[in-house]
Chain A
Amino acid sequence: MLAYIIRRLIYAIPILIGVNLLTFTLFFVVNSPDDMAASQLGDKYVTPEAIANWKRKNGYDKPLFLNDDASGVAALTDTIFFTKSVRLFAFDFGRSESGRDITTDVSTRMWPSLAVALPSFAIGIWVNICVALMVVMFRATALDRWAVFVFVALMSISYLFYIIGGQYLVAKQWMLVPISGFDPDFKPWKFLILPVLVSVVSGIGSGARWYRTLFLEEAGQDYVRTARAKGASEISILFKHILPNALIPILTGIVVLIPSLFMGSLLIESFFGIPGLGSYMLDAIRSQDFAIVRTMVFIGSILYILGLILTDISYTWADPRVRLS
């Protein structure tokens, strides 16, 4: 088990290097150091000297990947890629283009993100499982068919519409909660209700439909027939046999998402004005702040890989048949 985790962590290194290489290439083609200097200095002050100055000051005066002037290992290390990207591996994210310390930003913005994402995630799963269980109880009836239709219809509505509709109805028409904003000190739950509600409701369609198929798949298994032959009632079969088995794919399917909860949700945060990492990313994209985007990509990939490892571990935990080697 431990050997397995260590091996998976070692495998993660080439993937992270690949991620870095890809994002680095992408962003420096978009935005060469000269462009960066120009946009940071402001149009008025763009002179070749000023640009060279800025580049030297910010460490962009080196070649991108290969330094012909240096020899040996330095040819690879004395480059923008190495100095800018490798630092990320030490979780030193540096400063954004506008001069803010990214590490501080990330560590303060992480919590509001989590405050929205975690309850949305947990309540969402709980609601989806309950809804799916209810539908499965009525399997092969008209109710079941209509429920599936409703799920598909719910899936077919754009996420944006859920947010806009939710804000319009709950906040503007009924005035139950504030439309947007976040105040960690003053009744933060009031600000959280609507975003969490919107996330949960928008997920019911696809979530409950997926769980329903998982439940039905288990309901067709041989051991369910065995349980019937024992004389167990349908309800007890559903809860004692089908549910525990179906929870395995449900659990392992969602575990991969757990680490990514830290990243928050781009849309929810931006619509509801929550100062989390999601809106941080969106602002960075809109203002083309590549230092932040690069950092977020890096954090995102680490969390994803962490999610993959957790998934494998959760298998051993949920399913007695699985052992890692």
Chain B
Amino acid sequence: MWELDAKPVLLWSDALVFMLVAVLTTFFYRLRNDPQSRERWSQVFSSRLGMVTFTIIMVYVGVALLDSLHFRRALPPPDGVETNEVFYDNKVTSVLDVMLDGMGDRFERTYSAPFALKSFEKSNMKDEQGNMVRDFDWLEHAGQHLAEPAHRWPDVLRLSAIALGWGLLASAVVVGLQWRLLRNSVYPWYASWTVQTSVICFMVWLVYISHYYHVLGTDQGGTDVAYQSIKGIRTGVLLGTLSTLVMLPIAVTLGVMAGYFKGWVDDVVQYLYTTLSSIPGILLIAASVLLFQVYIDLNPDFFSVGMEKADARFIALCFILGLTSWSSLCRLIRAETLKISQLGYVQAAHAFGVSHTRILARHILPNVVHIILITFVLDFSALVLAEAVLSYIGVGIDPSMGSWGNMINGARTELSREPAVWWTLTGAFFFMFVLVLAANLFSDLVRDAFDPRSSSGRSEA
């Protein structure tokens, strides 16, 4: 049973992600105690759209988390050598890879179209007579079980039916459990269950059918495109959350201080963010990423596996995005703090001689949380989109790490081929679009619930 024998690997980004999950959980748990935010969250979740989008986001986050549990498989001992020492695979695997059941290991030689049986490009091979011919080669991992190529589509239908059966069974278990717990809830959980059922059925279908076909074809290197698209989820989700997390403390601290203390503190903070925002963002990010690239190149021995190097570059990108993008949130928080400082309860606190730190912690910070929240959700989708652009410019994610940006990046040349290779773009587009759309719609709801300006004030009657 060598498969069970594994050595866990904790990449830096993994550690950060789990820390992030812990922080967010406590944050939301504490928010629950606050009646006002509880009321507002309940407003968000009372709508079906809120439930649906939240479930979708949670599915993405769940996939990202599963993809962040990394380990290295133990290799079977070399033949004929009796040793107690265990050797580990140089390749880092994640729990998600295991759940996808080898989807990422079924390589072809190069491009192949979705559900194709033959390669997209001709290659040299020998026919029965032993002559060299150039023709489309059969794929290694598609349609091997078929007796006759013509049976392909009926076979796909048959397999889909089986997969759907399994999918429905699995969702029945998952949804049934929740139904027992939540059937009396006031929230529209059925909307969430519909999404859960579709997602489970889709995933089961994808994993099942991938044993027999490449659902979204393969890319230039012969990797399954569906697999790549799913691996892009972790990159997208992490980039969106980690960058914001880096940016938050800077923006909040500076913004609150500037708005509360005013005077020279305000001048300095304003100078800092005006200076920063006057530099074209993309140039600043590009320069910083290049800087880190040089650092990595100069210290190659820091990272024992290739994945760690890519990971370090990824974290650096998150930090750079965070460090260069705090100015707009800072400005918002400064303005809000200025407003709150004028309100009666802060004035009253002054009149009670409450210390500055206590006023900041008790009166100011809790009342700017809604801005932080709205920004967090809004920036998330913006960052996922930005990743693609940065990857195109060449300062994004390391090409060895799966990302939608890198996939779209390649699509430019692929589309100009004849016939066009459209499936890489489609795969990346679909997975990215669903996430960003869900996040955008969700952020709209959060903003409606939390932003006093956007909610319609009760008219005086």
Contacts and interface: CB of A to CB of B under 8 A. Distances in A.
Whether A associates with B in a native complex is yes
Interface of A: 14-15, 18-19, 22-23, 26-27, 29-31, 149, 152-153, 155-161, 164, 167-168, 172, 179, 213, 220, 260, 263, 266-267, 271, 281-282, 285-286, 288, 293, 296-297, 300-301, 304-305, 308
Given A19-B278, A161-B408, A164-B412, A26 B291 contact: yes
Contacts of B392: 160, 267
B283 A300 contact: yes
A156 B437 contact: yes
B456 A15 contact: no
B280 A19 contact: no
Contacts of A23: 279, 284, 287
Given A160-B408, A161-B408, A296 B291 contact: no
A197 B83 CA distance: 67
Contacts of A156: 381, 385, 433, 436-437, 440
B125 interface: no
9 contacts: A22-B279, A23-B279, A156-B381, A156-B385, A159-B388, A164-B415, A172-B416, A293-B286, A300-B278
Nearest to B434: A156
A220 B429 contact: no
A149 B441 CA distance: 8
Given A156-B440, A164-B408, A172-B415, A18 B275 contact: yes
- Where chain B touches its partner, the secondary structure class is helix
Nearest to A267: B389
A285 B411 contact: no
A167 B408 CA distance: 14
Contacts of A266: 282, 393
A271 B388 CA distance: 14
B389 A155 contact: no
Q: Which of A14, A296, A297, A308: most chain B Cβ within 10 A?
A: A297
Contacts of A220: 456
A261 to B, nearest CB: 13
A149 B437 CA distance: 9
A149 B290 CA distance: 39
B163 interface: no
B87 interface: no
B411 to A, nearest CB: 6
- Where chain A touches its partner, the secondary structure class is helix
Interface string B406-449: 00110110011000100001000100110011001100100000
Given A19-B278, A158-B429, A172-B416, A30 B291 contact: yes
B386 to A, nearest CB: 9
B438 to A, nearest CB: 9
B43 interface: no
A285 B286 contact: yes
B275 A22 contact: yes
Contacts of A153: 437
A166 B429 CA distance: 15
B248 interface: no
Given A159-B385, A267-B389, A285-B286, 17 more contacts: A15-B278, A22-B275, A22-B279, A27-B287, A29-B291, A157-B433, A159-B388, A164-B411, A164-B412, A168-B420, A267-B392, A271-B412, A281-B283, A285-B395, A286-B393, A293-B283, A304-B278
A19 B275 contact: yes
A153 B437 CA distance: 6
Contacts of B287: 23, 26-27, 30, 285, 293
Nearest to B438: A156
A296 B280 contact: yes
Contacts of A285: 283, 286-287, 290, 393-395
B298 to A, nearest CB: 10
A297 B287 CA distance: 11
B321 to A, nearest CB: 15
Given A153-B437, A159-B389, A300 B279 contact: yes
Contact of A19 (B279, B412, B456): B279
B288 interface: yes
Q: Which of A23, A30, A156, A305: most chain B Cβ within 10 A?
A: A156
B274 interface: yes
A32 to B, nearest CB: 10
A158 B408 contact: yes
B393 A301 contact: no
Nearest to A32: B294
Nearest to B418: A172
B12 interface: no
Interface in B268-305: 271, 274-280, 282-284, 286-288, 290-291, 294
Nearest to A171: B416
A62 to B, nearest CB: 22
Contacts of A22: 275-276, 279
A19 B281 CA distance: 12
Contacts of B404: 158
Nearest to A296: B283
Contacts of B282: 266, 281
Contact of B288 (A26, A260, A304): A26
A15 B408 contact: no
Contacts of B291: 26, 29-30
A175 to B, nearest CB: 13
A15 B274 contact: yes
Contacts of B278: 15, 19, 300-301, 304-305
A288 B429 CA distance: 30
Given A266-B282, A300-B283, A160 B394 contact: no
B448 to A, nearest CB: 11
A161 B429 contact: yes
B381 A297 contact: no
Nearest to A300: B280
